[in-house]
A = this chain, B = another copy of it.
Amino acid sequence: MELTNWLEKRVRLSPRKTALVFDDKQETFLEIYAAVQEVAGKLASFGVRDGMYVALLGKNDRETFLMIHALQQLGARTVFLNNRLTATEILFQTQDAQVERCFYTDVFVGKVDGIRATSFTAVMGAPILEPPLVSHFAMEDVASVMYTSGTTGQPKGVMQTYGNHWWSATGSMLNLGLQAGDSWLCAVPIFHISGLSILMRSVIYGIPVYLEERFDPERVDKFLQSGEVTLISVVTTMAQRLLDVFTTPYHPNFRCMLLGGGPANQSMLEACFEKGIPLVQSFGMTETASQIVTLPPEDALLKIGSAGKPLFPAEIKISEHGEILLKGPSIMAGYLHNDLATKAAFDKDGWFQTGDVGYLDDDGFLFVLDRRSDLIISGGENIYPTEIEHVLMAHPNVLEAAVVALSDEKWGEVPVAFIVAKEDMDTEQLYEFCQQKLARFKIPRQIHFLDELPKTASQKIQRHRLRGK
């Protein structure tokens, strides 16, 4: 099944609506389309064509925005490179994906060592050809490839089809609604599905993307006060930083702060409630083309701590081992050039195995307990790092906390905590604090203080980098 090329269709439906706001400049869908066509004409000079795998190393700016759409217009399959990776990691991904072309924004020249790559500046200076643009997007065609963030194991290229993006966008709309005047602020990386999905929704819904190069809490705070922005995607760190600068209530137009990349702790939820911030918790992965389980706004306060229910087109169940399994049309086509990993990702009935652990309550709400791979098993007892981290975070002097497994002769594994503190503090205080709230076997055996915790580009804490420290 195929639909008319989405951007072309959107331009025909709403040419004068705003498509992009970047660097405080607004452009309509018609204007963006003209610019995209020009970039596509230039990319054609480099032989980009329908079905070709092309790597893109960009950032959250207008140029990258245009490149993404131009590659889609040419029918290319874009391999999104994370710009925080090292040259070695990028080399691995471009080789693994067998990309035929690689384009990068100039500042990242140092990250494409040893790869035949073309800078955006070179693209923009190229002659403009008149290549055939795709008339239709086939739902089963691969639109994007993203390597999983790699908090565990070897990175694999997740193939996201146009159908995956479509069903994700419409599934989200059935949950969050769609209103005249909606707009979505994107300060999450557009090389991640959290960001790319905003670009796709913009075209499907006909709403503007407010694209921000960096997450600047003061600047975002102003947008949310002004009423210009009605939806925003954040991870917990961003939500916390917004809370830190919060002074004036947000505009009533602002209707959803979609939280991904890990659950919020109780104190954050309470702070948002007090300040009237419409926080919406969700659960999703690169493999599910963004959020697939979302807490409906009306249940936000009834089910604190829950990631919600699967979107209308999706299904969820918990395996007998406690793993979260998912089904639905937004779930990836598979891992690129990796049939083995693809097969391993789905069970015999076609359920996608998330690797995460959770449970459904009696009303069908999902509670995510932990990344399965981070599970600590100590003396036969399951220990979920998140639980301990939430306790530590509740201490007034703790800014961030991560808990990982340490091998132990007697117990197999024991938990160890890494802390970023607001001010110097006494370890003993923290042990006592834990003793009040945790069963003995859950209390960290060691507590280490760090200046910061290792994080991915999307601000997820990388527990695996703390192991063995």
Contact = CB atoms under 8 A, between A and B. Distances in A.
Interface of A: 1, 3-4, 9-10, 12-14, 170, 173-174, 177-180, 204-206, 296-298, 309, 312-313, 315, 329, 364
18 contacts: A1-B329, A3-B312, A3-B329, A4-B315, A9-B312, A12-B309, A12-B364, A13-B296, A170-B170, A170-B173, A173-B174, A173-B178, A174-B178, A174-B204, A174-B205, A174-B206, A177-B179, A204-B312
A342 to B, nearest CB: 19
A360 B312 CA distance: 36
A425 to B, nearest CB: 44
Nearest to A180: B177
Most B CB contacts (10 A, CB to CB) among A174, A179, A205, A296 go to: A174
A169 to B, nearest CB: 9
Nearest to A14: B296
Contacts of A177: 177-180
Contacts of A329: 1, 3
Give the 3 A-B CB pairs with smallest separation, nearest first: A177-B178, A170-B170, A177-B179
A136 to B, nearest CB: 10
A86 B205 CA distance: 45
Given A14-B296, A173-B178, 18 more contacts: A3-B312, A4-B315, A12-B309, A13-B296, A13-B312, A170-B170, A170-B173, A170-B174, A173-B173, A174-B178, A174-B204, A174-B205, A174-B206, A177-B177, A177-B178, A177-B179, A180-B297, A180-B298
A296 B178 CA distance: 14
B364 A309 contact: no
A179 B206 CA distance: 16
Contact of A179 (B13, B179, B298): B179
A175 to B, nearest CB: 8
A313 B162 CA distance: 13
A161 B312 CA distance: 18
Nearest to A4: B315
A173 B3 CA distance: 17
Contacts of A298: 180
Contacts of A12: 309, 364
A3 B296 contact: no
A98 to B, nearest CB: 29
Nearest to A309: B13
A309 B11 CA distance: 12
A297 B14 CA distance: 12
Contacts of A174: 170, 173, 178, 204-206
B178 A178 contact: yes
A173 B174 CA distance: 9
A3 B313 contact: yes
A206 to B, nearest CB: 8
A324 B194 CA distance: 40
A296 B180 CA distance: 11
Contacts of A170: 170, 173-174
A167 B3 CA distance: 11
A14 to B, nearest CB: 7
Nearest to A175: B13
A297 B180 CA distance: 10
A14 B329 CA distance: 21
A26 to B, nearest CB: 17
Nearest to A16: B298
Contacts of A1: 329
A50 to B, nearest CB: 20
A13 B365 CA distance: 9
Nearest to A308: B13
Contacts of A309: 12-13
A347 B244 CA distance: 62
A364 B205 CA distance: 19
A234 to B, nearest CB: 21
Nearest to A12: B364
A140 to B, nearest CB: 10
A367 to B, nearest CB: 16
A3 B329 CA distance: 9
Contacts of A313: 3
A447 B329 CA distance: 58
A14 B177 CA distance: 14
